[in-house]
Structure 1
Amino acid sequence: MDKARVITLFIGVVRAKSFSQAAVEAGLTPQAVSKAVRQLEEHLGVRLFHRTTRSLSLTDEGQRLFELANPGLRLLDEALDQVQNSRREVDGLIRIAAPTSLGTNLLAPLIAGFQQQYPGASFDLQLSDHFTDLIEAKIDVGFRAGHPPERNLVARRIGDIVLHICAAPSYIERHGVPRNAQELLQHRCTGFRQPNTGRLVPWELHGEGGTVFMDVPCVASFNTAESEVAAVREGVGIGQLAGFMLGDDLAQGRLRHLLPQLDTHNAGVYMYYQQRTRMPLRVRHFIDYAIEASKHAFPNLRKAK
Structure 2
Amino acid sequence: MDKARVITIFIGVVQAGSFSQAAVEAGLSAQAVSKAIRQLEDYLGVRLFHRTTRSLSLTDEGQRLFELANPGLRLLDEALDNIQNSREAVDGLIRVAAPTSLGTIVLAPLIAEFQQQYPAAHFDLQLADQFTDLISAKIDVGFRAGNPPERNLVARHIGDIALNIVAAPSYIERHGAPKHIGDLHKHRCTGFRHPNTGRLLPWELKGEGGTIYEDIPCVASFNTAESEVQAVRAGVGIGQLALYMLGDDLDTGRLVQLLPQQVASGGGVYMYYAQRTRMPLRVRHFIDFMAERAPALLPKSRKGR
On whether the aligned pair clears a TM of 0.5, the verdict is: yes
Match of 1:253 in 2: 253
Structure 1 distance, partners of 2:185, 2:236, is 15
Q: Which moved more, 1:260-269 or 1:229-238?
A: 260-269
Gaps of 5+ in 2: 1-84
Give the drift of 1:88. 6.3
CA offsets, 1:183-215, max 9 Å, x none? 111111100000011111100001111000000
Q: Which amino acid aligns with 1:263?
A: V
The unaligned stretches of length 5 or more in structure 1 are: 1-84
User: Aligned runs of 1:196-215 on 2, under 5 Å?
Assistant: 196-215=196-215
Report 1:51-70 matches (<5 A): none
> Tell me, what secondary structure is at the counterpart of 1:294?
helix
SS of residue in 2 equivalent to 1:265: strand
Residue aligning to 1:81: none
Distance, in Å, in 2 between the alignment partners of 1:226 and 1:301 is 18
TM superposition shift of 1:248: 1.0
Q: Distance in 1 between matches of 2:260 and 2:94?
A: 39
Distance 1:191 1:117 in 2: 40
Is 1:120 the counterpart of 2:120 in the alignment?
Answer: yes
Whole-Å separation in 2 of the counterparts to 1:302 and 1:238: 20
CA apart distance, 1:275: 2.1
Flag the 1:103–1:294 CA change in 2: closer, same or farther, 3 A.
Answer: closer
Q: What residue number does 2:175 align with?
A: 175
Q: Deviations over 1:34-62 (max 9, x none)?
A: xxxxxxxxxxxxxxxxxxxxxxxxxxxxx
Q: CA offsets per residue over residues 105-147 of structure 1, 9 Å max, x none?
A: 1111110111111110000000111111111100000111122
Identity %: 73
Q: What is the distance in 1 between the residues matched to 2:299 and 2:278? A: 31
1:151 paired residue number: 151
- Per the alignment, in what secondary structure is the counterpart of residue 251 of structure 1? helix
CA distance, structure 1, for counterparts of residue 162 and residue 292 of structure 2: 20
- Check whether the contact 2:143–2:269 (CA below 8 A) recurs between aligned residues: yes
Indicate the SS of the match to 1:293. helix
SS at match of 2:111: helix
- Contact kept, 8 Å, 1:144 with 1:270, in 2: the verdict is yes
Q: Secondary structure at the match of 1:101?
A: helix
Q: Which amino acid aligns with 2:218?
A: C
| Residue aligning to 1:264 | 264
Residue deviations 1:243-291 (CA, integer Å, cap 9, x gap): 0000011111111000011111251211111124211111111001111
Instruction: Tell me the TM-score normalized by structure 1.
Output: 0.68
2:277 counterpart residue number:
277
**Is the contact made by 2:204 and 2:265 (CA closer than 8 Å) also made in structure 1?**
no
Alignment of 1:169-248 (within 5 A): 169-248=169-248
**For the residues of structure 2 that align with 1:197 and 1:272, how far apart are their CA atoms?**
22
Query: Which stretches of structure 1, 4 residues or longer, exceed 2 Å deviation after superposition?
Result: 85-88, 300-303
1:227 partner letter: S
Provide the rounded CA distance (Å) in 1 between the counterparts of 2:186 and 2:266: 26
1:135 aligned onto 2:135:
yes
Would you say the 8 A contact 1:87–1:118 is kept in 2?
A: no
Match in the other structure for 2:90: 90
* 1:196-235, Cα deviation, whole Å (9 max, x unpaired): 1111110000111100000001111101100000000011
